[in-house]
A and B are shown apart, each in its own frame.
Chain A
């Protein structure tokens, strides 16, 4: 149980366009979703915390206007990378708190060309 489905698993987009990443909790209600960014061979860096029905809380140094997070329902949270540039290329992972810890999406590899 407690599965988070993340889509797409990979995406290539042109510089200047926007990309939306979705995370759905399949068999539970996720009141809080965490969004991470991971560079190659590095650890996960928390970008923001989203709570259903309220504004996301961004970590210091994360541009909230570039990384738009929406958590409109208890089963869906989205991250939109707006006006993407090559430096936004990375691996993005969502995570939700569950009883025994956390469950993670399978990640999205974003490449901006």
Chain B
């Protein structure tokens, strides 16, 4: 079974600085999708960024970018120019190509932005 591990329960960063959240996963599949979701205090899950495993280029969405290392099974999220609104729980998630399209979530990282 696939597993997703986020080893940082909490992270903090100064406003306008850069922070990187770590995520590793375990799978025997060669093709899959990886996601980062944000859950602010409202608890609404918001898609931050996604990466297709077959694409070598790292995904980027404005201030958010990933470092996808397929061989190392690592998928870290970098947030540049951190803003107060970035404070939230961040979940890394995996979805295989085959089967029921289930998302497997990591444990989450709580990000605090210090003004």
Binding site for B on A (CB under 8 A): 32, 34, 38, 41-44, 46, 49, 57, 91, 93, 95, 97, 100-102, 104, 106-107
Interface contact A97-B101, CB-CB below 8 Å: yes
21 sample A-B contacts, Cβ–Cβ < 8 Å, listed by A number = A32-B100, A32-B101, A34-B102, A34-B103, A42-B108, A43-B105, A43-B106, A43-B107, A43-B108, A49-B102, A91-B43, A95-B45, A95-B103, A101-B35, A101-B47, A102-B35, A102-B103, A104-B44, A104-B45, A106-B42, A107-B43
Q: Is B25 an interface residue (CB 8 A)?
A: no
A-B contact count (CB 8 A): 43
Interface contact A107-B102, CB-CB below 8 Å: no
A interface footprint on B29-53 (CB within 8 Å = 1, 0 otherwise): 0000101000000111101001000
Report the Cα distance A42→B105, complex, angstroms.
10
Binding site for A on B (CB under 8 A): 33, 35, 42-45, 47, 50, 91, 100-103, 105-108, 110
Residues in A neighbouring B106, C-beta threshold 8 A:
43
Report the Cα distance A34→B104, complex, angstroms.
12
Residue A93 contacts which of B33, B45, B100, B107 (CB distance < 8 angstroms)? B45
Residue B50 contacts which of A44, A95, A100 (CB distance < 8 angstroms)? A100
Residues in B neighbouring A34, C-beta threshold 8 A:
102-103
Closest to B104 in A: A46
Distance (whole angstroms) from the CB of A54 to the closest CB of chain B: 12
Report the Cα distance A41→B91, complex, angstroms.
12
**Contact of A101 with B91 at beta-carbon distance under 8 Å, contacts A42-B108, A46-B102 already known:** no
Residues in B neighbouring A44, C-beta threshold 8 A:
45, 91, 105
**Contact of A49 with B107 at beta-carbon distance under 8 Å, contacts A44-B91, A106-B44, A107-B43 already known:** no
Interface contact B103-A106, CB-CB below 8 Å: no
Report the Cα distance A16→B110, complex, angstroms.
35
Residue A100 contacts which of B42, B43, B47 (CB distance < 8 angstroms)? B47
